[in-house]
Amino acid sequence: MPAKPVKNPEGLKLAKLCRAFAEEKKAIDPIILDLREISSVADFFVICSADSEPQLKAIGNGLEKMLKDDHDVRPLAVDGYPVSQWIVADYGDVMVHIFHKTTRPKYNLEGLWRDAPVVK
């Protein structure tokens, strides 16, 4: 029987930190999907929504600043802008997806990755 992959507790800690920040900024329905057993893209997706483009930008910029200033963590890449209504930040083990509330259902990442358990 093949060995199970080692689970990265640091990735989980980072994902929970990102979700907590999103909750603090009044993001809509922030969740964490655990992809460790089903994908090599990332260990975790943090997904949340914003009511407006300014809120989307505030969550994205605020998260990046908080992680850099308080935890010395920087994204490998950030793509998207408030105008696109979807910002994704790649932190290696964790990818953070911030959608406008009307855009999130169109991409339906939760449905696409429905085999991934939701982290409580």
pLDDT tens sequence across 14-55: 999 999 999 999 999 999 999 999 999 999 999 999 999 999
Mean pLDDT of 78-95: 92
pTM of the shown model: 0.90
Weakest-pLDDT range from 5-9, 31-35, 56-60, 103-107: 5-9
Q: Which pLDDT tens digit goes with each residue over 44-86?
A: 999 999 999 999 999 999 999 999 999 999 999 999 877 889 9
Question: 9 falls in which pLDDT band (50, 70, 90)?
Answer: low
Long-range contacts of 62-68 (CB under 8 A, 24+ apart): 62/21, 62/25, 63/18, 63/21, 63/22, 63/89, 63/96, 63/98, 64/89, 66/21, 67/14, 67/17, 67/18, 67/91
Q: Which domains does the chain have, with CATH numbers?
A: 10-112 (3.30.460.10)
User: Any idea how long the chain is?
Assistant: 120
Neighbours of 108 (CB within 10 A): 10
Q: Of the candidates 44, 40, 60, which has an alpha carbon nearest to the alpha carbon of residue 117?
A: 44
Among the listed residues 94, 56, 49, the one whose alpha carbon sits nearest the alpha carbon of residue 76 = 94
- Per-residue pLDDT, 5: 45
